Amino acid sequence: MVDVPYDRIADVPPAEVPEVELYHPKSWWTQYVFSQDAKVIAIQYSLTATAIGLVALVLSWLMRLQLGFPGTFSFIDANQYLQFITMHGMIMVIYLLTALFLGGFGNYLIPLMVGARDMVFPYVNMLSYWVYLLAVLVLASTFFVPGGPTGAGWTLYPPQAILSGTPGQDWGIILMLTSLILFIIGFTMGGLNYVVTVLQARTRGMTLMRMPLTVWGIFTATVMALLAFPALFVASVMMLFDRLLGTSFFMPALVEMGQQLKYGGGSPILFQHLFWFFGHPEVYIVALPAFGIVSDLISTHARKNIFGYRMMVWAIVAIGALSFIVWAHHMYVSGMHPTFGFFFATTTLIIAIPTAIKVYNWVLTLWRGDIHLTVPMLFALGFIITFVNGGLTGLFLGNVVVDVPLSDTMFVVAHFHMVMGVAPIMVVLGAIYHWYPKVTGRMLDDWMGKFHFWVTFLGAYLIFFPMHYLGLQGVPRRYHDLGEAAFITPSVHTLNAFITVVALIVGFAQMVFLFNLVWSYFKGRPSGGNPWRATTLEWQTPETPPGHGNWGKELPVVYRWAYDYSVPGAKEDFIPQNQPPATRAVQGAAT
Amino acid sequence: MAETVLTNPGKTPAQTAGWKGIAADWSSDQRAFKNVSWGKAMMWIFLLSDTFIFSCFLLSYMTARMSTTVPWPNPSEVFALTIGGHHIPLILIAIMTFVLISSSGTMAMAVNFGYRRDRVKTAVLMLVTAALGATFVGMQAFEWTKLITEGVRPWENPWGAPQFGASFFMITGFHGTHVTFGVIFLIAIARKVWRGDFDVARRGFFTSRKGHYEIVEIMGLYWHFVDLVWVFIFAFFYLW
């Protein structure tokens, strides 16, 4: 792959596409607030997502305080506990992770990595952020309305989600569904931009098979999101009608407090199907960008080309496709026909194959690499270990017979926090340490970073590993107070208290990280344009942070894939993607 | 069009056959779809996403209809009109469908004249399309009014399963919203065509980008999609 002449890779000859002119801001407002520049929008997305994510973090502390020391905190009652778990889950999965990976990293990295000046439709991109902000504000407002936010659990299962026994029945559920609908509208506007930019706005020489895996991950996740969010959109609209208009899409005939409700004939299972048709791809919408980013982090910081690039790409695409036919493995306890259970268990286990290919390729990339234990690398390694752990428990839960007894226990909580909570967050943190120098021109403080990593990584294990044992003991999730059941042994309470203490410590470490972000912005060591000596295009910009339009007068031309690290015979241990091959002149002279 | 044309295509070497060739062509330089502009690609992908929305709506409706224990009202009876003493089933829906399909025809003609940069004919045909679309929405409003006066509500109706009214208002309402947005955009773009914005490359008010006649074709994609969706709604809701 080293110096393959330009023309031998591309089957179709490159064409010169005339550049579409760029929008130029005219005032401070259009430059920094109502900005159409993808980089500014990316930062807006990231800051908003982080802000609402902090709310969810605080909610998790409150939940842990209640679980660890039941009865001590009188200000947390059962209803509030349910509201906390609901908002924590919803915010973390959708408003933090999805928005941060796609809206944040997607906006910042896609145009830079594929060599574009901006997203294809900057105005629509700007609208995307403002609708997202509106969705976040509507969501946050539920904390202040009468009755508070909904406590239906993040899955919002009907019929309980809209019945009066559930907290937040008045306003909480209505605003939650409204916020979801807004989020999907906003995301669609951004997502269309990301997809079209990757497909149609790459620079010369940037074939799809030369794109960094980060772009592949974000691109595939965005395509999936565009196809999966419609199901959530429809489910939200229908439940909103059930709640507001008295329709019975999801509501069967019910008796509440001795009163026959007006509902009848609807199917709660239909909601579960719609929700999980969105919900399962959503796992990979969060995971695929993480897969992509972690591949680039490992390759860059191990100074070695990624092992099996083509397989990595195909694995990403295969996982994306397969994730649309596994959704009902979330519904084994809904009373489905065993044949369906068999089908969905099979497809679920098949997903393990491309996933395992990726894990092996990461490990083989590390094998005999020149591993630099920088903070991004530490987080990438932390991701692999956490992800493998969470993936293995996924094999447990993917099988019907094992899932049924474990369903709705702490085992499930441990599994998905490991695999789609902690693991992607590890990548988010590693990616922030990796790209912060490009965004600000300064390095994040290394000592604080290492402290942050070790506390977060070890802490996450100490929090979630014991939860597997709790789950095997039969400790149910979503319980405000475990009470005096025979199967709740004293060790359960000890473990719960232990987990709570660790969770608070890990929470404190995140404050160190936030301090690091602010402190380094002013006092950090200047980074220069390419502190990690990386090959991808975003590190080759003429300015750092990249200026308006990303590139100078000329767009970069790409001559090679993104992973030319430690090429034998090369002067440096990395060759940027836009460096022309040495043999090219010779080739030209020969023909 | 102007912006979508590839210049300097260079020599075309013999291409690899079969799947490998398709993959290589797709993943080759700069653009996956060679002569497709950004706007057109974006509309296609949006329509794909929108297809999933309508599919979910229709599948949910079909689930409700198949699983209900109460009889489903007979659409031929519900949507019948008595005109001049004759009881004609589905007559209004048939006219609505005819109007909407005809509007696809005028839209296609508008796209054709857009290609030829015929300012006046393009604008007029787009306005005719918009008028047909508005007629469709108007007839839908009439249909809604008729059903509401007969006692159909989202939560109940006089003839059977309450999901009938719920699905009807939701699906036709969502489709009608699509048509309404289409009409608004048709008028907005027709105005630009009429004014000659695309001939003098005038900049858009919001995006400050120069417009192209291609937007007529992109608008056409959306409009034909909305028509196609109606065909499915017609088949699955009214004819079933």
Write down the pLDDT at residue A17.
Answer: 64
- Overall domain count for chain B: 1
Residue A326: count of CB within 10 angstroms of its CB: 23
| Alpha-carbon gap: A205 to the closest alpha carbon of chain B (Å) | 6
* CA dist., res. B200 & res. B191, Å (int): 14
Write down the pLDDT at residue A484.
Answer: 81
User: Chain B 5-34, CB below 8 Å of chain A: which residues?
Assistant: 6-13, 15-16, 21, 24-34
Q: Does B181 touch chain A (CB under 8 A)?
A: no
Cβ–Cβ of B42/A262 closer than 8 Å? no
**In chain A, what percentage of residues exceed pLDDT 90?**
83
Cβ–Cβ of B170/A192 closer than 8 Å? no
CB contacts, 8 Å: A196 with chain B: 38, 41-42, 45
| Alpha-carbon gap: B54 to the closest alpha carbon of chain A (Å) | 8
Residue B29 covered by a domain: no
Q: Which of A12, A202, A264 sits opposite B162 (nearest CB)?
A: A264
> A44-65: per-residue pLDDT in tens?
999 999 999 999 999 999 999 9
> A147-162: per-residue pLDDT in tens?
999 999 999 999 999 9
> A434-471: per-residue pLDDT in tens?
999 999 999 999 999 999 999 999 999 999 999 999 99
Q: Which of B36, B53, B163 sits opposite A233 (nearest CB)?
A: B53
Tens-level pLDDT at each residue, chain B (240 residues) = 334 444 444 455 556 778 887 887 788 777 888 888 899 999 999 999 999 999 999 999 999 999 888 999 998 888 988 888 888 888 999 999 999 999 999 999 999 999 999 999 999 999 999 999 999 999 999 999 999 999 999 999 999 899 999 999 999 999 999 999 999 999 999 999 999 988 888 888 888 888 889 999 999 999 999 999 999 999 999 998
Write down the pLDDT at residue A194.
Answer: 97
Interface confidence (ipTM) of the complex: 0.93
Residue B18 covered by a domain: no
- Which residue, among A280, A304, A284, A175, has the nearest Cα to A231 in the 3D structure? A280
Write down the pLDDT at residue A22.
Answer: 80
CA-to-CA dists, residue B74 to A246, B140, B174, angstroms: 23, 19, 22
CB contacts, 8 Å: B63 with chain A: 267, 270
A87 CB-near residues (< 8 Å, 6+ apart): A55, A56, A59, A139, A142, A143, A149
By residue range, what is the domain housing residue B68? 39-239
Residue B19 covered by a domain: no
**In chain A, what percentage of residues exceed pLDDT 70?**
95
> A18-31: per-residue pLDDT in tens?
677 788 888 888 88
Interface with chain B: mutation pick from A11, A249, A577, highest number of B CBs within 10 Å: A11
Q: Which of B7, B24, B52 sits opposite A16 (nearest CB)?
A: B7
> DSSP per residue over A444-481, as a string?
PPHHHHHHHHHHHHHHHHHHHHHHHHHHHHTPBSS-S-
**Radius of gyration (C-alpha) of chain A in whole angstroms:** 25
Cβ–Cβ of B8/A16 closer than 8 Å? yes
CB contacts, 8 Å: A314 with chain B: none
What average pLDDT does this structure show over A264-281?
95
Interface with chain A: mutation pick from B49, B69, B208, highest number of A CBs within 10 Å: B49
Residue B30 covered by a domain: no
> Which H helix or E strand runs over B88?
strand B86-88
Average of per-residue pLDDT values in chain A: 92
Write down the pLDDT at residue A143.
Answer: 96
Cβ–Cβ of A247/B154 closer than 8 Å? yes
> A222-241: per-residue pLDDT in tens?
999 999 999 999 999 999 99
Q: Closest-CA residue in chain A for B170? A: A238
Extended strands (E) in A190-291: 255-256, 259-260
Cβ–Cβ of A200/B63 closer than 8 Å? no
Q: What are phi and psi of A145, to 5 degrees?
A: -85, 160
Q: Which of B24, B38, B60 sits opposite A201 (nearest CB)?
A: B38
Q: Which of A12, A121, A234 sits opposite B57 (nearest CB)?
A: A234
Q: Does B240 touch chain A (CB under 8 A)?
A: no
Cβ–Cβ of A13/B24 closer than 8 Å? no
Name the pLDDT band for A71 (thresholds 50, 70, 90). Answer: confident
Q: Does B82 touch chain A (CB under 8 A)?
A: no
Q: Does B47 touch chain A (CB under 8 A)?
A: no
Choosing among 3.30.420.40, 3.30.365.10, 3.40.50.1220, 1.20.210.10, the CATH entry for A35-248+265-590 is 1.20.210.10
Q: Which of A15, A200, A231 sits opposite B38 (nearest CB)?
A: A200
* CA dist., res. A547 & res. A333, Å (int): 54
Q: Residue ranges of the domains in chain A?
A: 35-248+265-590
> A147-201: per-residue pLDDT in tens?
999 999 999 999 999 998 899 999 999 999 999 999 999 999 999 999 999 999 9
Residue B4 covered by a domain: no
In the three-class reduction of DSSP (H, G, I as helix; E, B as strand; rest coil), residue A160 is classed as helix
| Residues recorded for chain A | 591
> A280-303: per-residue pLDDT in tens?
999 999 999 999 999 999 999 999
CB contacts, 8 Å: A233 with chain B: 53, 56
8 Å CB contact between A467 and A38: no
A299 is written with which tokens? 């390759």
What average pLDDT does this structure show over A517-531?
94
